[in-house]
Amino acid sequence: MTEKKFTTVEQMEQEAELLFQRARDAGIDTWKTRAEDQKNHCKFGEDGVCCRNCSMGPCRITPKAPKGICGATAHTIAGRNYLRTTVGGAAAHSDHGREIAHVLYEASKEGNYQVKDEEKCIKVAKEFGIETDGRDIYDIAHDLAYAGLMEYGKPFGYLTFTGRATQERQELWKEIGITPRAVDKECTEAMHMTHIGVQAEPEALVKQAMRTGLSDGWGGSMMGTEFSDILFGTPMPKETEANLGVLEKDMVNIIVHGHDPAMSEMVVVAAQMPEFINRAKELGAKGINIAGICCTGNEVTMRHGIPMAGNFLQQENAVLTGAVEVIVADVQCVFPALGPLSKCFHTKFITTSPKAKIPDSEFIEFKVTSALETAKKIVSTAVENFVNRKQDDVYIPESKEKAVVGYSCEAIIKELDGVTNTQVDLTGTYKPLIECIKAGVLRGAVGMVGCNNPRVRQDYSHIEIMKKLIKNDIIVVVTGCAAQAAAKAGLLSLEAKELCGDGLRRVCDLVGIPPILHMGSCVDISRILMLVTDVAKQWGINTTQLPVVGCAPEWMSEKAVSIANYVVATGIDTYLGIEPQVKGSSEVMHLITDGSRELVGAGYIIEMDYEKLGDAMIEGIEKKRAALNI
């Protein structure tokens, strides 16, 4: 057996350092230097006890001034801030879902976007009570898109997808009053509650955070995922590569960055057109290479095997290679720093959404009706820009790793079907997986998600914790920047089974999967919700009983807080490696940890030491097993 050498964080850091040096040489800042400049962080902000919700303030809580001018305590202020953070995240994810619903609404046989997964279109339409028999698929799709859009503002009732949850969760949510209503209703109500002089009770604020989070996970994000699958195809396993080494020295490099797949899908289509490939060759390039960053990267890798250039904290590094002709972004997680940085290189920075215009970028508005035209313009800009590259001044780090991506729930079931024995028919279910967990071959599962955060070494916690988990026979599913961290370290390759305990290694061999499964972008955490829910249903237990936990070791965004809220409210303990900004209130801190466990059977476990965080998860999983007598 040849021992595979996996890329280490140290290697990645050395390569990154060479790129940062290029920035220093060019006299430009990077996140590294800016993070230094921002030290030490404002303590009031960090603790969540600064309120600027009205102009009598800002008010900051200190021992000398324990109340705001209106009388709000640290608990009220921290609770309100926490809820507002959640709203920011839920709004972002859900608005992404809404954009996709609009794309589906515009889909047509002849137009820019088609229905690729008709089966899913019909299945989901039925859930919404839409007539499907004998109807044209586009008529069904349009009715579905309309029904989806109505989920954002319907005046009565609850979100349709909550009907997918376990009976136990549905009843509990009803009982404690957190079943999500229309997406916009939850976000608006949360903003209302946090206005001066409205909600002051910490528990009510934390419950609304869960409800708003649920409207994201079981609403906006879930629609984002399902409608994207209908439009662009449900992901199936594909081979690809990850890390900056995927950039090609002798090709035109285009980086797609952001979140919404509508734009990036079209760029992928345009880049395959012979007119552009030929033109690239005329200009001395060997072809056109597309690579992704952040969740756009996850979307296009899941469906097309497009390589991933890296995750959140690597966006500047991509430009610093000097090898990128165009970096094009739509919404979310896009550093404004890319504007001035791109000016130091030949790189053209293109923004496409009116929601995210960035100084020093070129704005080309992306519209559903002119999507292909715009994508062609973007690709053409990149191709023509190749001649401006200073080829002698290019530095592309060597590191890249092989990865298998594209494990939608449908794909996982298909893989499991491939190995079920025929004595009892288990096809189309997670039962083989459940049997492995019951028998202890697998101890349990962890969903690792989330961002990078300069508060900790980039990707170190992700990678070290993942290695620890798989060594302990715990299967891991990943999305977002955590997924890209895994990919860069080679942990999404089939060879990663070498790092597993005996049980997980056997499962990997038998099923032919890596020990860490890439389930997509951050809105695709809705896939993890469905995986967990269906496993609980087929096992016949509650989600809170499953030996399964969630983890976000390096999270930073408001979206991550929204996610953490809905994962917990779905009954899954969530382990955080970065502290939520509520430390200034013992009550809110209690409410999101042990208090939430009393309320919904799950809560946060907060631990900044990655070793201890990993150990705590294993312990948590073993406790759940013991309670199940397995």
- Beta strand residue intervals within 441-589, DSSP E: 444-448, 474-479, 516-520, 548-552, 574-576
Which of the choices ligand SF4, ligand XCC, none does residue 294 contact, using the CB cut-off of 5 to 8 A by kind? ligand XCC
Which of the choices ligand SF4, ligand XCC, none does residue 480 contact, using the CB cut-off of 5 to 8 A by kind? ligand XCC
The stretch near ligand SF4 (CB under 6 A) out of 55-63, 139-147, 288-296, 352-360 is: 55-63
**DSSP code at position 386:** G
Residue closest to 475 by CA, chosen among 537, 413, 517: 517
> Judged by CB under 6 A, how many residues of this single chain contact ligand SF4?
14
Query: Cα dist. 197→54, 56, 72, 279, 354 in Å?
Result: 10, 12, 9, 62, 34
How many angstroms from the chain centroid is the CA of residue 265? 18
308-310 and 348-351 as β-strands: parallel, antiparallel, unpaired? unpaired
d(CA 266, CA 103): 12
- Judged by DSSP in three states, 363 sits in strand
Which of the choices ligand SF4, ligand XCC, none does residue 52 contact, using the CB cut-off of 5 to 8 A by kind? ligand SF4
Tokens representing 375 are 């994508």
Q: Does 569 bind ligand XCC (CB under 6 A)?
A: no
The stretch near ligand SF4 (CB under 6 A) out of 67-75, 242-250, 308-316, 398-406 is: 67-75
d(CA 573, CA 596): 10
Q: How far is the CB of 190 from ligand XCC (least distance, A)?
A: 19
Given the complex with ligand XCC, which of 105 and 312 has the nearer CB atom?
312
Which of the choices ligand SF4, ligand XCC, none does residue 403 contact, using the CB cut-off of 5 to 8 A by kind? none
Which of the choices ligand SF4, ligand XCC, none does residue 481 contact, using the CB cut-off of 5 to 8 A by kind? ligand XCC
Which of the choices ligand SF4, ligand XCC, none does residue 450 contact, using the CB cut-off of 5 to 8 A by kind? ligand XCC
Which of the choices ligand SF4, ligand XCC, none does residue 54 contact, using the CB cut-off of 5 to 8 A by kind? ligand SF4
- Judged by DSSP in three states, 330 sits in coil
Q: Give the one residue of 9, 12, 59, 486 binding ligand SF4; rule: CB under 6 A.
A: 59
Q: Does 480 bind ligand XCC (CB under 6 A)?
A: yes
Q: Does 78 bind ligand SF4 (CB under 6 A)?
A: no
d(CA 282, CA 411): 41
Q: How far is the CB of 379 from ligand XCC (least distance, A)?
A: 23
Q: Does 451 bind ligand XCC (CB under 6 A)?
A: yes
Q: How far is the CB of 591 from ligand SF4 (least distance, A)?
A: 19
Is residue 484 a contact partner of residue 466, using CB atoms and an 8 Å limit?
no
Given the complex with ligand SF4, which of 77 and 300 has the nearer CB atom?
77
DSSP H or E segment with residue 288: strand 288-293
Is residue 490 a contact partner of residue 520, using CB atoms and an 8 Å limit?
no
DSSP H or E segment with residue 240: strand 238-242
Q: Give the one residue of 87, 294, 326, 605 binding ligand XCC; rule: CB under 6 A.
A: 294
Q: How far is the CB of 149 from ligand XCC (least distance, A)?
A: 23
Residue type, 191: M
Q: Give the one residue of 41, 43, 52, 357 binding ligand SF4; rule: CB under 6 A.
A: 52
How many angstroms from the chain centroid is the CA of residue 377? 28
DSSP H or E segment with residue 620: helix 610-627
Given the complex with ligand SF4, which of 80 and 624 has the nearer CB atom?
80
Which of the choices ligand SF4, ligand XCC, none does residue 68 contact, using the CB cut-off of 5 to 8 A by kind? ligand SF4
Q: Does 130 bind ligand XCC (CB under 6 A)?
A: no
- Judged by DSSP in three states, 548 sits in strand
Q: Does 300 bind ligand XCC (CB under 6 A)?
A: no
Is residue 486 a contact partner of residue 551, using CB atoms and an 8 Å limit?
no
DSSP H or E segment with residue 206: helix 202-215
> Judged by CB under 6 A, how many residues of this single chain contact ligand XCC?
14
Q: How far is the CB of 450 from ligand XCC (least distance, A)?
A: 5
Q: Which of residues 519-548 bind ligand XCC (CB under 6 A)?
A: 521-522
Q: Give the one residue of 42, 56, 283, 626 binding ligand SF4; rule: CB under 6 A.
A: 56
- For 412, phi then psi, to 5°, come to -65, -45
Q: Does 57 bind ligand SF4 (CB under 6 A)?
A: yes
Q: How far is the CB of 559 from ligand XCC (least distance, A)?
A: 5
d(CA 591, CA 193): 18
The stretch near ligand XCC (CB under 6 A) out of 124-132, 268-276, 422-430, 553-561 is: 553-561
- Judged by DSSP in three states, 586 sits in helix
Given the complex with ligand XCC, which of 105 and 407 has the nearer CB atom?
407
Residue closest to 492 by CA, chosen among 459, 466, 455, 526: 466
The stretch near ligand XCC (CB under 6 A) out of 107-115, 152-160, 555-563, 608-616 is: 555-563
**DSSP code at position 438:** H
d(CA 630, CA 615): 20
> Which residues are CB-neighbours of 435 under 8 A, at least 6 positions away?
none
d(CA 167, CA 505): 34
Q: Which of residues 194-233 bind ligand SF4 (CB under 6 A)?
A: 196
Q: How far is the CB of 525 from ligand XCC (least distance, A)?
A: 9
Which of the choices ligand SF4, ligand XCC, none does residue 626 contact, using the CB cut-off of 5 to 8 A by kind? none
Is residue 412 a contact partner of residue 404, using CB atoms and an 8 Å limit?
no
Is residue 48 a contact partner of residue 588, using CB atoms and an 8 Å limit?
yes
The stretch near ligand XCC (CB under 6 A) out of 104-112, 268-276, 339-347, 556-564 is: 556-564
Binding-residue pattern over the window 180 to 199 for ligand SF4, x denoting contact by CB under 6 A? ----------------x---
How many angstroms from the chain centroid is the CA of residue 71? 38
DSSP H or E segment with residue 481: helix 480-488
Q: Does 312 bind ligand XCC (CB under 6 A)?
A: yes
Q: How far is the CB of 522 from ligand XCC (least distance, A)?
A: 3
Q: Which of residues 332-361 bind ligand XCC (CB under 6 A)?
A: 333
DSSP H or E segment with residue 536: helix 525-539
Q: Give the one residue of 18, 65, 69, 283 binding ligand SF4; rule: CB under 6 A.
A: 69
Site of interaction with ligand SF4 (CB under 6 A): 51-54, 56-59, 68-70, 72, 77, 196
> Given the rule CB under 6 A, which residues bind ligand XCC?
294-295, 311-312, 333, 450-451, 480-481, 521-522, 557, 559-560
